[in-house]
Amino acid sequence: MNLDQITSVSGEFDKDLSSVIVLKELEELRIKYLSRNGIVSGLFEKLKDVPKEEKPAVGNKLNALRNYITENFNLAKIKLEEKGSAGKQSIDLTLPGTQRQIGSKHILTQTVDEIKSIFKGMGFSTFEGPELESDYYNFEALNFAPDHPARDMQDTFFISKDFLLRTHTSPVQVRVMKNYKPPIRAIMPGRVYRSEAVNARSYCMFHQVEGLVIDTDITFAELKGTLVFFAKQFYGNDLKYRFRASFFPFTEPSAEMDITCYICGGKGCKICKYTGWLEILGCGMVDPNVLINCGIDPEKYTGYAFGMGIERTAMLKYNVQDIRLFFENDFRFLKQF
Ligand code: DAH
């Protein structure tokens, strides 16, 4: 053994240490160099064969080697232990953050908000009424006699003989008329229920917006003007429209308003059932019987009312093909709006 041999062991140790990544590898290194049968002990054993005059220098160098390896081994051990515990306890600030999904208003809420704001601009206030209604408010006060065939138009969920889930927002008209004196200019949004088969076009629960205006000298012309203004604001200025005679027990005369089909532009397609037109709402002059039921003198006051489905309105505006999408809360649908 000579001094060069000791230097080369030191070099080999440096090389080995530089490739150590985990504690287990470091332990293998300790066994290789520092254990009883390790390289350093082996060198000390060979010291006895070294010529006497070289012994002090070689011995010194061997001691230095052992100290060097022991020190570097201890340092590396401390570093690796720190690294291991860091991974367990603290936060890695270099990791990318998790993105939170930001919510937004449901498309039906957005649609109601837009309808409300258009009517607000025309001086309408907003009212709401209960979803659990009495037969009286939902039907009777609105001029549906107990055996009136028009009751069949609205498949009803009855809770008891006299109570039901409202089938339309029209009962809120009655509540407003009974509680406020004319002039009345109100819209009444809300949820309604019908015992209908669920499919792409109909659902057992949906939303409507009701409108009511009562004052002296209110005419059908004002009804038309208001609804045409609304439709142009909501669907776009160049829309074409028409009013068709219809029937509702609580209005006389009654009408339905159609706009040109947004898909085919009026040529006729599947969506408009090849008529070129899409119905958007029902309306009419409030029947004098309804005014009387609500304590308003029909000789002094006249008024008009209208009602539209909010899902239908949104379906027409955004070309949504299936009403069920509104209630499934599928993020892929909702985030399009
Ligand atoms: N309540 C009717 C329905 O659900 C809609 C309606 C039509 C409301 C005419 C009105 C109206 O106020 O005047 O089918």
With beta carbons less than 8 A apart as the criterion, state whether 134 and 162 touch. Answer: yes
- Considering the domain boundaries, does residue 99 fall inside one? no
pLDDT digits (tens, 9 = 90+) for 241-291: 999 999 999 999 999 999 988 778 889 888 788 999 989 999 999 999 999
CA angle 254, 260, 265 (to 5 degrees): 170
Residue 89, pLDDT score: 60
d(CA 285, CA 251): 5
Mean pLDDT for all residues in the chain: 91
Last residue of a domain, one of 29, 51, 86: 86
pLDDT digits (tens, 9 = 90+) for 191-211: 999 998 999 888 999 999 999
Same domain, residue pair 14 and 124: no
Give the distance (Å) from ligand 1 centre to CA of residue 166: 13
Distance of alpha carbon 293 from the chain centroid: 42
d(CA 75, CA 73): 6
Same domain, residue pair 57 and 120: no
Same domain, residue pair 184 and 72: no
Same domain, residue pair 146 and 237: yes
Q: Which domain holds residue 50?
A: 3-86
Residues with CB under 6 A from ligand 1: 168, 170, 210, 248, 251, 282-284, 305-307
- Closest-CA residue, ligand 1 atom 6, reads 307
Same domain, residue pair 113 and 72: no
d(CA 145, CA 87): 77
The CATH number linked to 250 is 3.30.930.10
pTM of the model: 0.72
d(CA 41, CA 195): 93
pLDDT digits (tens, 9 = 90+) for 128-153: 999 999 999 999 999 998 888 777 77
d(CA 13, CA 29): 8
Same domain, residue pair 277 and 198: yes
pLDDT digits (tens, 9 = 90+) for 51-101: 888 888 888 888 988 999 899 888 988 888 887 765 566 677 888 888 888
Of 125 and 161, the one with more pLDDT: 125
Specify the number of domains making up the chain.
2
Same domain, residue pair 121 and 66: no
- Find the mean pLDDT for residues 291-312: 97
Distance of alpha carbon 283 from the chain centroid: 33
Residue 88, pLDDT score: 61
DSSP 288: H
